[in-house]
Amino acid sequence: MTTTKYDPRVLKAPHPVPGAPDNWKRFFTFNTDAKVIGIQYMGLSLFFLLVGGLLAMVMRGELITPPSDLVDPTVYNGLYTMHGTVMLFLFLFPILNGFNNLLIPTMIGAPDMAFPKVNAAAFWLVPVFSVVLLSSFFVPGGPASAGWWSYPPVSIQNPLGHFLNGEFLWILAVALSGISSILGALNFVTTIIRMRAPGMGFFRMPVFVWTAWAAQTLQLVGLPALTGGAIMLLFDLSFGTSFFRPEGGGDPVLYQHFFWFYSHPAVYVMVLPVFGIFSELITVYSRKPLFGYKFVAIASFIITFLGLIVWVHHMFYSGTPQWMRNIFIVTTMLIAVPTGVKVFAWLGTLWGGKIRLTTPMLFVLGGVVNFILGGVTGIMLGTAPIDIHVGNTYFVVAHFHYIIFNTIGFGIFAGIYHWFPKFTGRMYYEGLGKIHFVLTFIGATLNWLPMHWAGLYGMPRRVASYDPEFAIWNVIASIGAFMLGVASIPFILNIVSSWARGAKASANPWNAIGLEWLLPSPPPAENFEDDVPTVISEPYGYGLGKPLVKDEEYYIRRSMEA
C-alpha cells in the first residue's frame, strides 16, 4: 500500500479510526474497519483451528488402540468436549464472520458495516471468551467434560463442588459467544437490507450475500433459546435450582429441546455461507452464470425456515412419542429438497463450462462431493428407525464431520484461497495450494469414511476405549487424522510466505464478475466510499457480455491503476 494512485475521492475517505496504525499493528487494535475486523476474525480462528486440531490429534492417538491407555478417561472426556467447543465456537463461527466482514460490504458496495463499533465489539468478545473457555484447563477439576451439547444431569454433577469449575466457565463462554453472534447478526442483516449499492435489488445480490442473510436470520431466531437454556443450566449447576435436575422434579429432556432448537439451525448457520462460497466460485471457475440463480437464492430462506422445525430428530430415542417422531421425520426429509436444488444448480453450472482446476475450485468440487455423501447419511439419520440404530454411534460422527469439515471446512479453504489476492494484495502459491488440497482430501476421507462402518456395527461415540472388533476402522481413521495434521503445514507455509512476499495481485486475477473485483487489491478503507457504482444487471454474467455496473470501464481502469 505504498503507491498512492487511488482515485482522489477514495483516498480522501476518512480512516475509520483516526490515527490508527496502517501496518500489521492495526490487527491488534479496536479497529472499526470491517476489512480489518474480517482479517482479525480469520487469523484468530485459524489459530484455534490448530488448537482444536491438536486436541483431536491426542484423541485419535488414544483411539488408535482399543484400551484407554494414552490418557485417563476423564481427560479424554475433557479433550473431546473442548475439541468440539473450540472447533464450533472459536473456529467455525468466527471464521464465517470473518468472511461476512470481508465480503458483505465489498460485495454490496457498502463502505462498511452498518454499526462499525458494534462490529468491533462483537469481534473482541471472541478473544475474551476464548480466554474464559481455555482457562478452564487450569481450574481444579479441569475443563468441562460433558460434551459440546452438555446434557444434564452429567453437566451439572460438579464432583469437586467448587463454584469456579470447568462447566461454569464453559457456560459463560457459550453465553458470551451468543452475545457476540447476536451483535454480529444484527449488523449483517441491517447492512444487507439497508446498505446495498444503487441498483442492487435483492435479486441482483450475489448468492453469498443471500446465504449470509439467511444464516444470520437463523442466529437471531435460534440463539435466544440456547442462551435461555444455558442460563437455566448455569442456575442448576451453581445455585441449586431444578429446571433440569430430576431429583428436584426437573426434566433433563427439556434441556435437549432448548439446546437442539438452536443447535440444529446452527448447522445451517455454518453451511449456508459455504453454499454461498460454492456458488460464487463454481461460476468463476466454470465461466458460466449460476444455473437457476433465483431458485438457489430463495432456497436459502426455505432452508432457514425448515431448519427451525426439525430439531427433534436429535431426540428420537430420548423418549419422544411416536406421533412426534413421525412429524419430525417428514420435516427432516423436506430439508433435502432445497439443498438438492442447490446441488443440482451447481452441477448445471458445471455442465458445458470452461472449468479451471485452481486450488479454490478443487476444494469446491471436493466439498460438493463430500456434501452429497454427508447429505445422504443425514437423510438416513432423519428416518427414525435407522437413527434408533445408528444415533449416538460413530455413524453420526462420520455424518457430521463429512458436513462440518469435509464440506464446510473445504468451502472455507476454497474461500480463503479465492479471496486471498483481493484482501492481501498478494497471490498465493498454486503448487502449495494443490498439495494442501490433495493431503486434505485423502486425510479427510481416511479419517471419516471408515467411521460409518464402525457406527453401523455398534461403536458408540464419545468413548475413550472400545471393543477390539472396531480396531481396524479406528486405525485407518487415526492415520487419516494425522495426515490432516500434516496437511496444515503447506497451508500455513503458503499463507505466511505468500502474504509476506507473494507476487502482487492485480485487481481481478480470476477475471471474475462482482463488485469486490472492481476495487483495488487490497481495497481501500470504505471501499467505494461515495463513488459507489450503480448496478445494472444480475450477478454472474459470464458469457453474457452485459456489464455489471454503469461505467464499468471506468471502475475497472481505476481499480487497476491503484
Partner 1 sequence: MTSTTPKGKSGWPIRLIAVILLATASDALLSYQVSQWAYGWLPVPASTAAPYVDDLFSLEVGIGAFIFFGCTGFILWSVLFNRAEKYDESDGLPIEGNNKLEVTWTVIPFIIVMILAYQAIHVSETLSALGPKVKYDVEGGLSPDTAIVTGVRDDIGPIDVIARQWSWEFIYPNGVHSSELHLPLDQRANFRMSSEDVIHGFFVPAFRLKQDIVPGSVISYSITPTREGRYRLRDSQFSGAYFSQNQTDVVVESEDMFNAWLKQSAANPLVPGLSPGTALYNERLAKGNKGWATVPPAPPPMVNDPGNPDAPHDA
Part of the chain binding ligand HEM (CB under 6 A), chosen from 17-25, 182-190, 276-284, 384-392: 384-392
Closest approach, Cβ 294 to partner 1, in A, equals 8
Is 396 among the residues that bind ligand HEM (CB under 6 A)?
Answer: yes
Choosing among ligand HEM, Cu ion, partner 1, none, which partner's interface includes residue 465 (Cβ < 5 to 8 Å by kind)? partner 1
Q: Looking at the DSSP assignment, which residues form a beta bridge with residue 166?
A: 143
Q: Which is nearer to ligand HEM, 286 or 339 (CB)?
A: 339
C-alpha cell at 482: 494425522
Picking from 420, 398, 401, the residue whose alpha carbon sits closest to that of residue 410 is: 401
Closest approach, Cβ 538 to ligand HEM, in A, equals 26
- How far apart, in whole angstroms, are the C-alpha atoms of residue 514 and residue 102? 14
Angle, alpha carbons 33-34-36 (nearest 5°): 65
Question: Of these, 264, 325, 401, 418, which contacts Cu ion (CB under 5 A)?
Answer: 264
Part of the chain binding Cu ion (CB under 5 A), chosen from 74-82, 122-130, 262-270, 341-349: 262-270
Question: Of these, 235, 400, 453, 554, which contacts ligand HEM (CB under 6 A)?
Answer: 400
Q: Looking at the DSSP assignment, which residues form a beta bridge with residue 460?
A: 393
Closest approach, Cβ 5 to partner 1, in A, equals 26
Is residue 419 within 8 A of residue 521, CB to CB? The reply is no
Is 335 among the residues that bind ligand HEM (CB under 6 A)?
Answer: yes
Choosing among Cu ion, ligand HEM, partner 1, none, which partner's interface includes residue 485 (Cβ < 5 to 8 Å by kind)? none
Phi, psi dihedral angles at 505 (to 5 degrees): -90, 145
C-alpha cell at 243: 429446571
C-alpha cell at 196: 446495498
Q: Looking at the DSSP assignment, which residues form a beta bridge with residue 535?
A: 549
Burial of 278 (0-12, 13-18, 19+ CB in 10 A): buried
Closest approach, Cβ 407 to ligand HEM, in A, equals 7
- How far apart, in whole angstroms, are the C-alpha atoms of residue 380 and residue 411? 24
Q: Which is nearer to partner 1, 92 or 373 (CB)?
A: 373
Closest approach, Cβ 473 to ligand HEM, in A, equals 19
Choosing among ligand HEM, partner 1, Cu ion, none, which partner's interface includes residue 396 (Cβ < 5 to 8 Å by kind)? ligand HEM
Part of the chain binding ligand HEM (CB under 6 A), chosen from 74-82, 101-109, 249-257, 265-273: 265-273
C-alpha cell at 60: 485419535
Q: Which is nearer to partner 1, 29 or 318 (CB)?
A: 318
Picking from 529, 526, 38, the residue whose alpha carbon sits closest to that of residue 273 is: 38
- How far apart, in whole angstroms, are the C-alpha atoms of residue 279 and residue 274? 8
Question: Of these, 20, 51, 379, 475, which contacts ligand HEM (CB under 6 A)?
Answer: 379
Number of residues that bind Cu ion (CB under 5 A): 1
Phi, psi dihedral angles at 504 (to 5 degrees): -65, 135
Is 399 among the residues that bind Cu ion (CB under 5 A)?
Answer: no
Closest approach, Cβ 458 to ligand HEM, in A, equals 14
- How far apart, in whole angstroms, are the C-alpha atoms of residue 508 and residue 498? 17
Part of the chain binding ligand HEM (CB under 6 A), chosen from 4-12, 104-112, 264-272, 524-532: 264-272
Is 40 among the residues that bind ligand HEM (CB under 6 A)?
Answer: no
Question: Of these, 62, 387, 516, 526, which contacts ligand HEM (CB under 6 A)?
Answer: 387
Q: What is the torsion angle, in degrees rounded to the nearest 10, for the CA atoms of residue 274, residue 511, residue 549 and residue 3? A: 100
Q: Which is nearer to ligand HEM, 113 or 296 (CB)?
A: 296
Question: Of these, 125, 134, 267, 284, which contacts ligand HEM (CB under 6 A)?
Answer: 267
Cα 140 to Cα 137, 147, 329, 363, 436: the distances in Å are 8, 18, 43, 43, 40
Question: Of these, 64, 364, 365, 403, which contacts ligand HEM (CB under 6 A)?
Answer: 403
Question: Of these, 336, 372, 427, 556, which contacts ligand HEM (CB under 6 A)?
Answer: 336
- How far apart, in whole angstroms, are the C-alpha atoms of residue 119 and residue 228? 23
Part of the chain binding ligand HEM (CB under 6 A), chosen from 164-172, 376-384, 469-477, 488-496: 376-384
Number of residues that bind ligand HEM (CB under 6 A): 23
User: At a CB cut-off of 8 Å and minimum separation 6, what does 317 contact?
Assistant: 387, 388, 391, 392
Letter for the amino acid at 149? W
Is 344 among the residues that bind ligand HEM (CB under 6 A)?
Answer: no
Q: What is the DSSP letter of 28?
A: G
Picking from 102, 96, 139, 101, the residue whose alpha carbon sits closest to that of residue 118 is: 101
Closest approach, Cβ 519 to partner 1, in A, equals 21
Letter for the amino acid at 224? P
Is 314 among the residues that bind ligand HEM (CB under 6 A)?
Answer: yes
Is 404 among the residues that bind ligand HEM (CB under 6 A)?
Answer: yes
Is 174 among the residues that bind ligand HEM (CB under 6 A)?
Answer: no
Closest approach, Cβ 111 to partner 1, in A, equals 31
Closest approach, Cβ 267 to ligand HEM, in A, equals 3
User: At a CB cut-off of 8 Å and minimum separation 6, what does 192 contact?
Assistant: 104, 108, 205, 209, 212, 213
Q: Which is nearer to partner 1, 154 or 193 (CB)?
A: 154
Which residues within the stretch 124-163 sit at the binding site for Cu ion (CB under 5 A)?
none
- How far apart, in whole angstroms, are the C-alpha atoms of residue 508 and residue 452? 42
- How far apart, in whole angstroms, are the C-alpha atoms of residue 129 and residue 172? 8
Which residues within the stretch 91-150 sit at the binding site for ligand HEM (CB under 6 A)?
149
Binding site for ligand HEM (CB under 6 A): 149, 267, 270-271, 313-314, 332, 335-336, 339, 375, 378-379, 381-382, 387, 391-392, 396, 399-400, 403-404
Binding site for Cu ion (CB under 5 A): 264
